[in-house]
Chain A
């Protein structure tokens, strides 16, 4: 997909996120908006996925993902972003977004496989677990000699979990050079700035000390920079080390009043705020 198309897709995804969270008056818009450009770029540009469709017209989904690149969302609370991208990519009907976080929905508050939503391979939300699962999937790809990439997105607050560092030492030990981790380094978490809550200090130095190659993505809300970082990461694969993209983003990116604060981490907009937000995000692909 070309740059302009990716940008307009990301704008629609942002509309979807704000509308979904408003629709159930619950959910996490801030981090979802911050990571929109990355996850849009992964699914619409970077990742090699099975493009075949079933009789229902939707993409065929295989949990095993043989011969496919795959993506794990570790910071599962940004589920509205994941659901919008999966629906817009063709895994299920975009109308289903209206069921987000409502009773009897496949679009659970945090991503789940339990209701068999196509595109989800593992449940996430309890933080710190996604990189370990990605390690296992990447290990399996190497065992099968499959030439695919495993991507996993984590939050920066999530880097405070101990399990992350168990997983960070595992990947270089097994030379998982088919693994790309992305840290959403927005410096915000529920209780305030990460510097104040629990300082992550120098994440780049920490990952390097554990044996990772690093890519600096200085503006993860600039689509061209996102594409460049993903290309740079891919070029580093196959050299015996995993790669981490340290992605600086702005929580709430695309909606001015949700930016520069942690307050929209897990808060839903009211009707008036929704109207203000949507005015900043023109409909590009048609609302659900």
Chain B
């Protein structure tokens, strides 16, 4: 098992903020919009350096999406930002018609996705957004795994022409990816090569998958770990190639089992190479208040849950 260590913990949303600060310098057409959550989205640096390219929209997300579409039509590259809950389900139709169907080059960049939002509870813990955005034609969907990857994804999206949904989160997490990584949209990252099982993970679950890989190694199980940061378009080649070798898969995501990464992987495998799959995710349930770690344990979204699913899926080979 390849060794991954970290020296600090940071939130992925701060990676977004750092990426925006760089784009402020390098991309004169990039704009930021926000619906009264500037501090939560870590936009302070961008706004300080580029006050003219920031549009405070107030608590009016539907209008914000439309304003972003209008700016995009005029040639700007707007990043419309809020919490994931308010940037997906609340404005689904606005994104569908004014952005995706209209081919508007808008980036929906959203924080506080999933259970790890924590104490605010289920009203804010969106666990269905990947399903909504995955099903929308023309939409690119990205869910990076740590600070560095989120920063790299934020920067890469500015040169990607087309609508995109960039999802990140609130809590501090280990920073374990390369700060100078090249982020290629749609290209999976091979975290660890192995031969007994393929663990396909996205977002905060990638670090958990690495922890699971170390636990499994102690039990003599050699896990291949793939980070799918781009949920759509899915890197089918990377997954199929891995499965040729391991012949079983566990998916892991901070999302409903319905409609997320696991579903995407199952769809791919059932069409192209039927393979046993077990899925780690939230099983048809809303979340609740609690600390991120408590919630991830209660809802079965941690390293221990991945280890258990790995054993199950290997027994089905």
Residues in A lying within 8 Å of B, measured CB to CB: 63-66, 112-114, 121-126, 128-141, 143-144, 162-163, 166-167, 169-170, 173-174
Contacts and interface: CB of A to CB of B under 8 A. Distances in A.
A64 B98 contact: no
B63 A163 contact: yes
B274 interface: no
Nearest to B104: A122
Contacts of B66: 129-133, 135-136, 163, 167
B140 to A, nearest CB: 17
Contacts of B93: 126
Nearest to A112: B101
Contact of A64 (B62, B68, B73): B73
Nearest to B73: A121
A123 B74 contact: no
Interface string B94-111: 101110011110000000
Contact of A136 (B58, B60, B69, B96): B69
B97 A124 contact: yes
Where chain A touches its partner, the secondary structure class is: helix
A64 B75 CA distance: 6
Contacts of A66: 74-75
B159 interface: no
Given A122-B69, A122-B73, A143-B52, A162 B97 contact: no
A238 B23 CA distance: 32
Nearest to B137: A114
Contacts of B69: 122, 132-133, 136
Given A113-B102, A123-B102, A125-B97, A170 B73 contact: no
A161 B102 CA distance: 20
Contacts of B98: 122-123, 129, 132-133
A141 B74 CA distance: 8
Residue among A126, A135, A169 with the highest chain B CB neighbour number at 10 A: A135
B71 A136 contact: yes
B73 A135 contact: no
Contacts of A129: 62, 66, 94, 97-98
Contact of B63 (A113, A124, A166): A166
Contacts of A162: 62
A174 to B, nearest CB: 8
Given A123-B98, A134-B70, A163 B62 contact: yes
B73 A136 contact: yes
Contact of B73 (A63, A166, A169, A174): A63
Given A136-B73, A140-B75, A122 B67 contact: no
Residue among A64, A132, A134, A139 with the highest chain B CB neighbour number at 10 A: A132
Contacts of A141: 74
Interface residues of B, number: 31
Contacts of A143: 52-53, 76
Nearest to A150: B70
B63 A132 contact: yes
B268 interface: no
Nearest to A164: B63
A124 B93 CA distance: 11
A170 B97 contact: no
A138 B98 CA distance: 16
A169 B70 contact: no
14 contacts: A64-B73, A112-B102, A113-B102, A121-B73, A121-B102, A132-B62, A132-B66, A132-B70, A133-B69, A136-B78, A140-B71, A140-B73, A140-B75, A166-B60
Contacts of A167: 63, 66
Given A122-B98, A143-B52, A163-B62, A113 B68 contact: no
Contacts of A123: 97-98, 101-102
Contacts of B60: 166, 169-170
Interface in B45-66: 52-53, 55, 57-58, 60, 62-66
A130 B97 CA distance: 10
B101 A136 contact: no
B101 A137 contact: no
A137 B73 contact: yes
A167 B55 CA distance: 13
Nearest to B35: A166
B67 to A, nearest CB: 4
A166 B74 contact: no
Residue among A66, A128, A162, A170 with the highest chain B CB neighbour number at 10 A: A170
B33 to A, nearest CB: 9
Nearest to B72: A136
